[in-house]
Every structure is written in C-alpha cells, then in structure tokens.
Structure 1
Amino acid sequence: MQTRIALIGIIIEDTKYAEQVNELLHEYGSYIIGRMGVPYRERGINIISVVLDAKEDTINSLSGKLGMLKGVSVKSILSKTSQ
C-alpha cells in the first residue's frame, strides 16, 4: 500500500459547519496521525491542522468533502514521496 503524509489546513469561517467538519474527520480518523484545533474567538473562526498518512485518493477525498462545505476553506500539502 503506497501512502503519503499530508497536512490539511482547515479554516471554519461559519461555526455552524464545525459539527460537519468533525463528523468528516471522525470518518477518516483511522488515517489521522495528529490534529490541532485553534479557536480564534476574536475573529469568530476556528483553525484546524490535520496530519494524515493515507493513499492520495483518500487524502483528496477528505479534502474535497471538506472544501464542499459552505463557510469552510481547505488547503492540502502532500509529501513528495510515498511509502
């Protein structure tokens, strides 16, 4: 199985979608190595960093599903090599 390390950065600009983001992250939980969430109360947003070890298709699937949520911005960075 060829997997890659990825970092997905998530900004939740509309907190009513936070539950949907958490549900998706739970669904992909077996691939998640670590997660850090930072609530930025002064701006009314939440920032989440998620590190995964998964196949590229799995990473893209999660990133795409998150990006389809209104009020949520997503960017992904993948390692250059796979193992």
Structure 2
Amino acid sequence: MEKRIALIGIIVEDKEAVENLNSQLHEYGSHIIGRMGIPYREKDINIISIVLHAPQDVISSLAGKLGMLKGVSVKTVYSKK
C-alpha cells in the first residue's frame, strides 16, 4: 500500500484526555516522523502537530481515534506528493 505524508493538527481542551491521547500516539509511533506540542497557558489548551508517513488507512485510523476523545479536536492535511 502506498504511503502518504500527513500532518495531524490536534487541540486539547480537556487535560484528562492527555493520557489516552499519548497512548494512541505511542501505538502509532512507528509511523510518526515528528511531533511538536505547544502549551497555550493563557487559554488553558495544548496544541499538538503530528507528522506521519503511513498508508492512508493508518493515518485515517489514528485521526479518527484521536477525534473521538472527549475535549480533543483533530484535523488532517495530506501532502500532494
């Protein structure tokens, strides 16, 4: 299956979701190229960017699982290459 490069943007508004979120990311760790987290203390949220190189179904699966977490918003952007 062809692999794609994708960026998953995550906003965490409920800190109780962080443990489950990190567990999911660990499960998909072999596909993750990089991760950047930015705490926005003024608004009490965390912003996380995940870059992956994986098959489409793996990227969609991770984004779907993360999006089901309470207090977590997710959007995915794909490279055209």
The TM-score bracket by the shorter chain reads over 0.9
Q: Deviations over 1:15-71 (max 9, x none)?
A: 110111110000000000000000111111110000000000000000000000110
Gap regions ≥5 residues in structure 1? none
Q: Which amino acid aligns with 1:68?
A: M
* TM-score between both structures, scaled by the size of structure 2: 0.96
Alpha-carbon distance between aligned partners in 2 of 1:6 and 1:33, rounded to the nearest angstrom:
10
Q: How does 1:23-62 map to 2 (within 5 A)?
A: 23-62=23-62
Gap regions ≥5 residues in structure 2? none
Q: Which residue of 2 aligns with 1:14?
A: 14
SS in 1 for 2:43: coil
Percent sequence identity is: 68
Q: Which residue of 2 aligns with 1:5?
A: 5
Alpha-carbon distance between aligned partners in 2 of 1:41 and 1:72, rounded to the nearest angstrom:
16
The aligned length equals 81
The CA RMSD measured in Å over matched residues stands at 0.7
* TM-score between both structures, scaled by the size of structure 1: 0.94
Runs of 4+ in 1 over 3 A off after TM superposition: none
